Amino acid sequence: MNYKDYLSITPEIEKAIAENKPIVALESTILSHGMPYPENLEFAHKVEEVVRGQGAIPATMAILDGKLKVGLNAEELEFMCHGENIAKASRRDVAVYLATKKPAATTVATTMMIADMAGIRVFATGGIGGVHRGAQETMDISADLQEFAHTNVCVVSAGCKSILDIGLTLEYLETYGVPVLGYQTKDFPCFYCESSGFGVDYDVKDAEEVARIMKTKWDLGLEGGLVVGNPIPHEYSMDHNVIDKVIDQAVEMAKEKGIHGKATTPFLLATIKELTGGDSLASNLQLAYNNAKVASQIAVEYAKIK
């Protein structure tokens, strides 16, 4: 038995892989742990529509019934969005949840892993994980970063989540040889904000250029993924000073409550939403749609040159 025996791929996606059609991987943690029901279900359908609108096929990932699901039907999407007793699976959890048949939503790291197993090379998410503030003491560093170093998937995001130490996150990616590309920008985006104050390694002009970089990297046998920082649309960008104060407040609340590990990001995002009166959720939705759009364009171009 090999890893392919654990994959459950929908017929549409299986056919698309065989015919080298553009496919975009999507995570399910944002559905089960990032948004309330039924807003998350509306988002799940909308983001898949965005992908299809650009000429690509969506592949939402999850762990269900002892299988790595590549693509979810309407019933499975509904189940994931209700979020009852659904775990949050990073790389270390995959074997446990498969063996015990426990349902789990996929993080950035796990979605990349499953996409790579299935032969899908482009993935759209909201924001990547990274080095948490205070990691010098806690060693709280997202498994996403190791996945970028070893897994051949191009990840389109609005940068890393604002709750992280962005400078240390970029240093970590550099150490592990992960290219950080700015999509039509020289500034690394900061989730709710267009710019973090940090630069990218290279700014790229369009999807075709990203696709050529992907192909060249992997043709050379250079292991690992690419991070494409795609800024949130200007009209939905939040004020940097305002969001920083809110994040600082949310981080302190997490410390007071003793929240750490996997529970940190969901708690902080929910707290930030509450403190901003829902503005952060609206921004989160729009940046995710924008990432899905750009990722789909990259997948289309990559399919052409592959």
Distance of CA 136 to the CA centre of its chain: 24
DSSP designation for 257: H
DSSP 25-81: EE-SHHHHTSS-TTHHHHHHHHHHHHHHHTT-EEEEEEEETTEEEES--HHHHHHHH
256 is catalytic: no
| Residue 182 near residue 174, CB atoms below 8 Å | no
Q: Give which of 108, 84, 132 is closest to 26, Cα–Cα.
A: 108
**Measured distance CA(295)–CA(255) in Å, rounded:** 35
Catalytic pick among 27, 48, 194, 301: 27
Does the CA dihedral 193-147-41-228 come out positive or negative?
positive
Rounded to 10 deg, the angle between the 207-219 and 279-305 helix axes is 60
Catalytic pick among 161, 217, 273, 293: 161
255 is catalytic: no
Q: Give which of 30, 17, 84 is closest to 269, Cα–Cα.
A: 30
Buried b (16+ CB within 10 A) or exposed e, 171-199: ebbeeeebbbbbbebebbbbbbbbbbebe
Structure tokens at 16: 């698309």
Torsion angle, CA of 298/47/91/271, rounded to 10 degrees? 120
Which helix (H) or strand (E) covers residue 296, if one does? Answer: helix 279-305
Distances (CA, A) of 64 to 3, 16, 69, 102, 272: 15, 22, 7, 7, 30
Q: How many CB atoms lie within 10 A of CB 34?
A: 23
Catalytic positions, please?
27, 161
